[in-house]
Amino acid sequence: MAGRARSTGPEEELIQKLRRIEALHARAGSDGERLAAERARERIKARLQQLAAEEPPVEYRFTLADQWSRHLFVALLRRYNISPYRYRGQRRTTVMARLSRSFVNDTLWPEYQELQQTLSAYFDALTDRVIEQALEVKAGDAEERPEPQALPPVDHQ
């Protein structure tokens, strides 16, 4: 059978959660609509066009901490037909785009942050599960302890 396999389980739940986030940022009326994600994207695109007519786009520089954040942000821009770019000599963590200030502040950046938090939580849980299964020990952060007391000065005579 040709095409992509349909994901199930935690991945499908994550995909649905990401679609609900997009619908929320498109100011969707009903969360239960069958085509909510597509309609949400179309509403955001229409809002972007309206804002571009009212408020001329300006060049923005976004600096993103890691490749996962950058991949998500670039994909989000492309989803709304915005062309991300960077200039020769700029770091790979830099993403440039021409956008209206209102769209960045009211829609794009809040949506990106919520998507990023959701994906980070998923990646953290997935990483811990894989480590625990592969190494058969508990993953996670190291134990936090209080600072040791300072040692008394040593007299070298």
In the predicted model, is pLDDT for residue 10 greater than 80?
Answer: no
The closest of 108, 10, 16 to 62, measured between CA atoms, is: 108
pLDDT tens figures, 25-39: 665 445 555 566 677
| Mean pLDDT value of segment 10-39 | 66
**Structure-derived torsion over alpha carbons of residues 132, 135, 136, 140, reported in degrees to the nearest 10:** -40
Question: Which of these ranges, 13-22, 29-38, 41-50, 81-90, has the smallest mean pLDDT?
Answer: 29-38
- From CA 36, how far away is CA 128, in angstroms rounded? 32
Q: Bigger pLDDT: 36 or 147?
A: 147
The predicted pLDDT at position 17 comes to: 74
CB 28 within 8 A of CB 43: yes
Q: What is the pLDDT of residue 116?
A: 93
CB atoms within 10 A of CB 108: 24
Question: Terminal CA-to-CA distance of the chain, rounded, Å?
Answer: 83
For residue 157, count CB atoms less than 10 angstroms from its CB and return exposed for 0-12, middle for 13-18, buried for 19 or more: exposed
Quick one: what percent of the chain has pLDDT higher than 90? Answer: 31
* Distance from the Cα of residue 34 to its chain's centroid: 24
pLDDT digits (tens, 9 = 90+) for 55-113: 889 999 999 988 989 999 999 999 988 999 999 999 999 999 999 998 899 889 999 99
Cβ–Cβ under 8 Å, residues 107 and 25: yes
Please report the pLDDT score of residue 24 as a whole number: 66
Q: For 113-129, write each residue's pLDDT tens digit.
A: 999 999 898 888 888 88
